[in-house]
Each structure stands twice: as C-alpha cells, then as structure tokens.
Chain A
Amino acid sequence: MEGTMHADAKIRAETGTESGPRGPGCSLRHFACEQNLLSRPDGSASFMQGVAEKSREQLIRNTCEAVVLGALHPRTSITVVLQVISDAGSLLACCLNAACMALVDAGVPMRALFCGVTCTLGADGTLVLDPTAKQEKEARAVLTFALDSVEQKLLMSTTKGLYSDAELQQCLAAAQAASQHVFRFYRESLQRRYSKS
C-alpha cells in the first residue's frame, strides 16, 4: 500500500564484497537498496542498513501483523512504506500512527486500531510523554509502546536506557491514558473524511 509518492529510479547499490564499504576507517555498515520493487504504487524503495535484530521496520511489522486480519488475504503481501518527512522526536510512535492510518485508508481488514506512544524518564524520575528530540537525548530512559484500541492492550514495546520495574508500570499506565487521546483524534479525523462524501 502506498504511503507517499516517491521518484522512480532504478539504481542498485553495490553488494558488499570482502573489501567493500567496510574499509579501514569507514564505520558504516553494509547498505542494500532496491527501488521500484513494487509495480502498483507510484514508487517504492527498500533500504536496509545493517542487520540489527530489533530494527524499527521489524517492530512496526510485528505490530501490524498482530492487528491485520491476514487470514482474509492468503498469498498476498501487504507492504507499508513510511517516509520520514521530519523527525521532531517520538519517531517510532509517529511511524506507528501513520502505519495505522494508512492501513485504515487502504481498507485492509483489521481487528482493532493501534497507536504508538513514547515516554521518557528524566534523571530525577520525571515522566514526559511524547518527548521532543532534545528531551529524548537527555533522558535516562526512552520507552515506546504500541497499544490497541479495544482494551488498550500492549502490542509492542521497545525501551532504551535504565529504569525500574515500578517506573515501567507507571510509564505504561501513562501511555494507556495518552492513547485515548490518539484514538479520539483518529475518530475525529475519520469522521471528517466521511462527512465530505
């Protein structure tokens, strides 16, 4: 399913050989890029950087797989293409929200909506929801949760930093409360869309 329009180009990055991009002094991992891999959307690209196990794409994919009714579309691949226009903090949560809206717009059958909420813990234990990039950098721990719309159950969580068990529960509760606002916004924007027709 198309996220945004991309330019159409056919370039293939060179696949790494032994003496490839990881030469002496170069600290970048192996790149792989493929463009125009889907015929249906106006354009598409796939970019893989390194082989990190918990990459952002994998997290979003696992969340989507938990809510999409894939059994209704066997032997079909659903591709979500996300393009970052600007990163002002809480990027993963924003990506999750965008992915959910795109799936709803495409008419993919889902068993619930989902949203992403990021929260940070400061050095003194203060909890900040939906942090800016600066707040994320200065925080002691950054936690991102994906919650579903039916009972605010936890679909995915990814955390970075140092925090205690009680703090985790506190962040989760705050995120669940915040997700209500996100779902209300979803409902309002979808109602506005359907009121035009």
Chain B
Amino acid sequence: MAEVVAVAAESLAGSRARAARTVLNQVVLPGEELLLPEQEDAEGPGGGGERPLRLNAGARSRVRVVCGPGLRRCGDRLLVTKCGRLRHKEPGSGSGGGVYWVDSQQKRYVPVKGDHVIGIVTAKSGDIFKVDVGGSEPASLSYLAFEGATKRNRPNVQVGDLIYGQFVVANKDMEPEMVCIDSCGRANGMGVIGHDGLLFKVTLGLIRKLLAPDCEIIQEVGKLYPLEIVFGMNGRIWVKAKTIQQTLILANILEACEHMTTDQRKQIFSRLAES
C-alpha cells in the first residue's frame, strides 16, 4: 500500500529518529521513526541557477516521497511497522524523492491491487467463483472475467481448479476481486492453469527474488529441464515438467533456494545436470 506523502524535511535528527538515508539497506525494527532528506534546491523559475526568493523564509523545502509497504506516515516522519531491510528507489523522472519501503520476509499474503496471484477455486455460486488466494478472505471472480466469455459461453472452471489472475479490487475494507483478463480484454497468460503439475508454497520474499529481472536461479533451472512455471505473488508456485520425478526435483530445488547460498546452489545444479 503506497501513500503519496508531502513532507517537510528536517535537518536535525531527533535523539531516536534517524535519517532514512543513513539506515538504507539496514535492518529496521517496528517502532523506529525515520527522517527524510531535505531536497536540493533545483534551479529557479527564471533558469540559470538562480535561487528563488521565498516570501516566508522559515519554510523548508518539501520532498514528495512515496511510502511503501512496511512504512506509515506519522506526522512528518515515517514510522516503521514491519521488520526488514529499508530500501529506496530513486525517482525515474526526477520529480519527488522516490520510494521508500521495507523488504520483509513473511509467509502471509495480503491482497494488493494489481498483483498476479495463483488461486484455488473453492466454490461456485451463481455468477461468481470464490477463489482462495491465501488472504484472510476468499476473492471473488466473475465468470465473465475470462477471455471470450459471454453469458452463453461460460468458461469451463470447476471447484478445485487453479486460476492465475490479477486483483482489480484489493483493500482492507472490501472483499478482494480478481479477473483473468487485462484492461484490453485479452487473457495475457491468465486463466485456468492446466491439470497436471504441482502447486507448492514458498515465502513472499523468495517469489520477489525469483521474479527480479536478472534472477540466476530461473535461468539455471531453465537449462536443466524444459518446464512450465507460474509464479503467484501470494507465495504459490506451479511447476510442470515432462515427468513427475523432474517436477518434484524442481519443486524441491525452488523450495530449498531460500536457504542455500549461491555456491551450494551451483553445486546442486551441476550434480543434477550430470545425472
């Protein structure tokens, strides 16, 4: 959940509150307060690097910072609510102070709008499927939210099927709703996942690591066996290879990746590639 925050930066750090910049990539605990850096004064409206005259000399420059998961706005500071490493991403287009968030390791998923997840259909009632996504309540999925579905042409979804979809409504006050089409009406890989294969659960941090742009693990796994794999942001992975044994080996490797170092992983992959 991200709040766009306009904060007045402070140059003095309180006895307990530390500047966010000094704590980057370190472990932060719930209850800590963070101060935001003061923005460098950009060139004035006249150009040429002139400083604009301020009518109220006491006002500080304001930084627009996006407050990501694990942080809450508390007055003009950020309050840490989860334990993890503090991360920061520079703003792409130069305006604003970027995004701050806490990288925490947890197993429990909380639905977020726009996330792609794997769900299990638990009930079919009238026009809606109830899908278990690992949150505190099941998400609802309308039967019309599939590619090419009309009132006469219903999709073939049974109780117990696996669904890959994304959330269109996901906040703390309402029941989450998901769909299997994107905004243009195309499936784009979403929908019912095939019947074979294996679904297993991992921590959310591992999913984010595997979905990072240059993840070595996925490249190495791809070289081992031909496989189909689906990652759900709710900690679920579905994997399918040619034989059951290969599927189980892949599932075990992915689950163990969490605790292995890079060297151990390379060892295991080389041993598997030989056999």
Contact = CB atoms under 8 A, between A and B. Distances in A.
B136 A113 contact: no
A149 interface: yes
Interface string A151-193: 0000000000000000000000000000000000011001101
A193 B30 CA distance: 15
B79 interface: yes
A109 B81 contact: yes
B27 A190 contact: yes
Contact of A150 (B31, B106, B136): B31
A112 B172 contact: no
Contacts of A113: 29-31
Contacts, number: 67
A22 interface: no
Given A73-B172, A106-B106, A190-B83, A111 B30 contact: yes
B242 interface: no
A54 interface: no
B240 to A, nearest CB: 26
B106 A111 contact: no
A25 interface: no
Given A111-B81, A197-B205, A187 B136 contact: no
A12 interface: no
Interface string A104-129: 11110111110000000000000000
Given A73-B136, A197-B205, A107 B82 contact: yes
B266 interface: no
A110 B205 CA distance: 19
24 contacts: A69-B72, A69-B81, A73-B110, A73-B172, A74-B172, A75-B136, A104-B82, A104-B83, A106-B106, A106-B108, A107-B82, A107-B104, A107-B105, A107-B106, A109-B30, A109-B82, A110-B82, A112-B30, A113-B30, A148-B31, A149-B29, A190-B29, A194-B85, A197-B105
Given A149-B31, A187-B27, A196-B259, 4 more contacts: A104-B30, A106-B107, A107-B108, A110-B31
Interface of A: 1, 69, 72-76, 104-107, 109-113, 148-150, 186-187, 190-191, 193-194, 196-197
- List the 10 shortest-distance A-B pairs measured between CB atoms, nearest first: A107-B106, A112-B31, A109-B81, A110-B30, A76-B136, A150-B31, A191-B27, A149-B31, A104-B83, A194-B27
